Amino acid sequence: MEKRILGLDPGLATVGFGAIACNKYTKKYIDFGVIQTSAKEEIGQRLCTIYEDLHTLIDTIKPHLVATEKLFFYKMGNTIFVAQARGVLMLVLAQRKLPLIEFTPAQIKLALTGYGNAQKYDVQQAVARELNLQTIPKPDDAADALAVALAAWFQR
């Protein structure tokens, strides 16, 4: 039976998404990209954009499971905005009754490269290799979201 996993890389300016379809033995990418908000808009409107676009994305992808990276930042200023966007993501998932699994950055790196301190480029190469893509997915937020989805599949 095919299972669809939606990976999300939360952010206020950019929410990366990556969706894969998999069964017990194989996996393939369905779609990847970003939900973007404009810095010219007030924060409430930006959060509404994420809310609405994520509902549309879920309607399109029809995931069985959603995976995301746990909130982990060094700069406090960015953390607050990402936490607000992440709250919107969690609200939408709860409304849609979708199961959520979370991974630390080290868990994602370990799952894809075998090394928890791998460099971003190494993870991106692993994403391309695992999904038989000719190039590394762009932008980086989308590649990160695919990495999260793959980590969820590897955990099965």
Active-site annotation, residues? 9, 69, 141
Segment holding 130, helix H or strand E: helix 120-130
Euclidean distance between CA atoms 47 and 11, whole angstroms:
10
Whole-Å CA distances, 112 to 60, 81, 127, 148: 26, 28, 7, 9
Between the two ends of the chain, the Cα-to-Cα distance in Å is 14
Chain centroid, CA 9 distance in Å: 4
Q: Using an 8 Å Cβ cutoff, are 61 and 19 in contact?
A: yes
